A and B are shown apart, each in its own frame.
Chain A
């Protein structure tokens, strides 16, 4: 079974607008971490934001915020005030319990239009 599901293959957003990228996850562990990474066309994975399963507050990092809904097993990324440089592939990932690996979703391509 897929551990991370990203249902939006591609999205277009107007510059300066906000965009929400969906991510749902599946785990039976009580302790886990959720990550979002950005991958530009150059290929490097850039860490954006992290949310621990026990964190009560939603994580925020600059223009990035994570809308964490534990009961729904949802960890959506919100990018505010989109910029042209935000055009990239975005991946949601999870690390479960004492596991060392990250499990990634299929990704969402975001294209920011001027």
Chain B
């Protein structure tokens, strides 16, 4: 049973570019959340997708957008990259029909903006 997978593992981009990160949820999960974790800090909630719609959003600018596909996988897009966007981006999946507290995290994508 595959857990949450994310791609790519690492990414280096230049300021002003755009990036797309991908997440496949754990089998049986239908909800995907994205978090940004700056170095030495705790993760910060970006948004959550359920039924292909953004259900809740954290305090992030519109440069951060996402999408959920019918197979429940998700993408995180960041436009006009800033140096401050360098971070570990974590995807977490959960089941709307299961235990309300279980969120499983993927290994993350480490984004470096130069």
Do these two chains really belong together in a complex?
yes
Q: Which A residues lie at the B interface, using CB under 8 A? A: 4, 33, 35, 37, 42-47, 50, 52, 91, 93, 95, 99-107
- Which one of A44, A52, A91, A106 contacts B106 once the chains associate, using CB atoms below 8 Å? A44
Assess whether A99 is in contact with B56, with CB atoms less than 8 Å apart.
yes
Interface residues in B14-65 (C-beta closer than 8 Å to A): 31, 33, 35, 41-45, 48, 55-56, 58
In this assembly, does B90 line the interface, its C-beta being within 8 Å of a C-beta of chain A? Answer: yes
Pair A106/B42 contact, Cβ less than 8 Å: yes
6 contacts between A and B (CB under 8 A): A43-B88, A43-B110, A45-B43, A101-B48, A106-B41, A107-B41
Whether A105 lies near B107 (C-beta < 8 A) is: no
Which residues of B are interface residues toward A (Cβ below 8 A)? 31, 33, 35, 41-45, 48, 55-56, 58, 88, 90, 92, 100-108, 110
Query: How distant is the Cα of A93 from the Cα of B42 in the complex, in angstroms?
Result: 9
CA distance A93 to B105 in the complex (A): 14
Once A99-B56, A103-B45 are accepted as A-B contacts, the answer to whether A50 and B108 lie under 8 Å apart by CB is no
Mostly helix, strand, loop or mixed at chain B's interface?
strand
Q: List B contacts of A100 (CB < 8 A).
A: 31, 33, 48, 55-56
**Nearest-Cβ distance from residue B83 to partner chain A, whole angstroms:** 20
B105-A44 in contact (CB<8A): yes
| B contact residues around A37 at 8 Å (CB) | 105
- The distance from the CB of A111 to the nearest CB of chain B, in whole angstroms, is 15
Residues of B within 8 A of A93 (CB): 42
Q: Which of A44, A52, A93 neighbours the largest number of chain B CB atoms within 10 Å of its CB?
A: A44
Are B107 and A43 interface neighbours, CB within 8 A?
yes
Contact of B105 among A45, A99, A103, A107 (CB under 8 A): A45
Residue ID in chain B nearest A91 by CB atoms? B42
Q: Are A43 and B108 in contact (CB under 8 A)?
A: yes
Task: Please determine whether B42 and A47 come into contact, CB atoms closer than 8 angstroms.
Answer: no
